[in-house]
Amino acid sequence: MDPIVILLVGVIMVVGGIIGLKLHPFLSLLVAALVVGFLTPVEMVEHYYLSKGNVAEEALKLAHKSLGERIATEFGNTCVKIGILIAMSAIIGKSMLESGAAERIIRAMLKVTGVKKAPIGFLISSFFLTIPVFVDTVIFLMMPLVKAMGLRLGKNYLLLALSVIAGAVMANSFVPPSPGPLFLVGALNVPIGLMMVCGALLGLCTITVGYFFAVWANKKYDIPLRDSVDARLEDIQKNADKEDKELPSLGWSLLPAVFPLVTICIRSGIEAFAKSNTSLTSSEVVNKLIGALMFFGDKNIALLTGGLIALFVLARQKKNLKEGMTAFVQTAIMSGGGIILITASGGAFGGMLQQTGISHRIADLTKDYQMALIPLAFFITAVVRTAQGSATVALITASGILSGLAQNANLGFNPVYLCLAIGAGAKLVPWMNDAGFWIMCKTSNLTEQEALKTIAPMQTLMGITGLVLIMIAAQFFPMI
C-alpha cells in the first residue's frame, strides 16, 4: 500500500478519534499507530530499518517483530527522550508555584518590563534560553511562570503562553547549538558561527510575527487560565496576595530553573567546541571541575537536581508540608505522567508512520520537481514534518536530498540560506502526530481544538515568514 494512503488513514483515525469520537488522545493515538502498523507491509518496515543503518540480518529481524512490540518500542523511544524531563519538570513547576518562587520571579520581571511588556519579556527570554537548552525543557520551566503571570494580570493568558512557545520553537529551528541547526551545519558544510548569527537574526524577525499573531489570537479567542492538578488557581492566588517578606528570596526562587539551564548550557558549549577523548586543560583540578559540570549538565541529571532544589525551597517555605511531601510529589507526578503517556503515544504514532517509508516516498515525489532550491528545501521539509510529526526526520530527509543538489549546482547564494529554509519548513504543520504538540498543548492546558486554532497556525505563519525573509536576503545579500 502506498505510504501516502496509509498516512491519510492515520490522519483520519487520530483527528476523528480525538475530535469526532471524543476519545482520550492516548487511546486515539495508540489505535492509529496500530492501524498504521497493520497497513504497513513487512517489506516497507525492513527497508526502513535498512535506511537507519542496520545490517540486512538485523533489519529483517526487527521488521518481523510483532506489531505490538514495534509500537511499544517507538513508545519507549519517546519515553527515553522525555520521560524524566517531564516528570521532574512537573515537580519543579508545582513546587515553584506552591512555594511562591514563581510569584517572586513574576514580581521581579514586572519591575523590569512593566505589565504591558510582560509578554515581550517571555517571548525574548524563551528564544534565548532555547538556543543552548532543549525546547521542551524551556517550555516546561516557563509555563508555571506564565500561569502565575496570567492570574496576576487577570487577562492575556493565551498571549503569554503563545509568546513562550513562539520564542522557544523558532530558536530550536535556527540557532546552533540546538540539535536541528547543529545537524544542518554539518550536513551542508556551513560554518557554525555564520549559522548562529543568521539564525538569531531570522529568529528574532519570525518571533516578532509570531508575537503579533499571538496578540490577534488573544483578542479573537477567549481562552481562560484553567484550573489543573499541578497548578490550582486557588494556590496561585494565595501566593499573589502575600507580602514580599512571605515569599522566598529571588535567588532561591530562580535556582530550581536557573541551575538546569546554566549547567545544560555549559555542557552544550563544551560539547560544541571540545574534541572527543581529549582533556580541555592541563590542570587536573580544572578537568575534574569540567567533568562535574558535564555530569550535572546532562539534561536528565540537571532536571533531577533542579527538582530536588525546588523541593528544598518548598520545604523551607512551608515547614508544615514536610510530612506531606510524598503526597505533594505524588500529585505532581500524576500530572506529569499524563503528559508522558500522551506524548509517548504521539511518538509511537509518528514512529509507525516513519516505518511506512513516507519520508522516502515524499523525497521521490519531489526529486525531479523543478523549483528554486530555497523554496524546494522549505517545501520538502514542511511536507515530511506534517506527514510524520518529527522535525528531526524532516531535517534529515531534506538535507539528504539537498546536500547533493547544493554541491552540484551553482547556487548563487551561501548554503546557510538552505539551512535556514529547512529550519523554517520544520515548523509546518504541528498536529497530533507530533510529540512536541502534546507537550505544548498539555503544559498550557489548551484543548486539542484550541491548540490547532492557535499554536499550529502561529508556527505555520512564522515558518512561511521565515521562507519569505530568506528568499529576500538570498537575493540581496547572497554572501558569496
- Residue 117 CB partners (closer than 8 Å, separation 6+): none
180-184, 207-211, 293-297, 416-420: lowest mean pLDDT where?
Answer: 180-184
* Top-confidence residue, 109 or 275: 109
pLDDT band at 370 (very low <50, low <70, confident <90, very high): very low
The better pLDDT of the pair 110, 203 is held by 203
Q: Name which residue leads in pLDDT, 100 or 452.
A: 452
pLDDT given at position 429: 83
Closest CA to 82 of 434, 447, 464: 434
Residue 411 is predicted with a pLDDT of 67
For residue 410, name the pLDDT band (cuts at 50, 70, 90). low
pLDDT at residue 322 above 60? no
Q: What is the mean pLDDT of residues 425-433?
A: 84
Has residue 463 got a pLDDT over 80?
Answer: yes
- Read off the pLDDT of each residue in 317-322 and give the average, rounded to a whole number: 69
pLDDT tens-digit series, residues 35-44: 988 998 888 8
Confidence (pLDDT) at 376: 83
- What is the pLDDT, as a whole number, of residue 414? 85
* Alpha helices, H only, 389-425: 391-408, 416-425
Residue 273 clears pLDDT 50, i.e. is over it? yes
pTM over 0.85: no
Neighbours of 4 (CB within 10 A): 14
Region 234-258 average pLDDT: 79
CA 403 to chain centre: 25
Q: How far is CA 460 from the centre of its chain?
A: 15
- Are 414 and 480 in contact by the 8 Å Cβ rule? The answer is yes
Taking CA atoms, 154 is separated from 76, 213, 309, in Å, by 40, 20, 30
Quick one: pLDDT at residue 467? 95
> C-alpha grid cell for residue 369?
520537481
Selection from 137, 163, 150, 162 nearest residue 97 by Cα = 150
| Mean pLDDT, range 190-201, rounded to an integer | 85
Most confident among 68-82, 84-98, 397-411 (mean pLDDT): 68-82
Per-residue confidence (pLDDT) for residue 401, from 0 to 100: 65
Question: What's the pLDDT at 58?
Answer: 87
Mean pLDDT of the chain: 82
Q: Give the pLDDT confidence score for residue 447 in this predicted structure.
A: 87
Q: What are phi and psi of 82, to 5 degrees?
A: -125, -5
Q: What percent of the chain has pLDDT over 70?
A: 88
Tens of pLDDT, residues 204-216: 999 999 999 999 9
Per domain, the residue ranges of the chain are 81-340
Residue 146 reports pLDDT greater than 50: yes
Q: Quick check: 256 and 101 in contact, CB under 8 A?
A: yes
pLDDT higher for 203 or 176?
A: 203
pLDDT of residue 101: 81
**What tens digit of pLDDT does each residue of 295-305 get?**
888 888 888 99
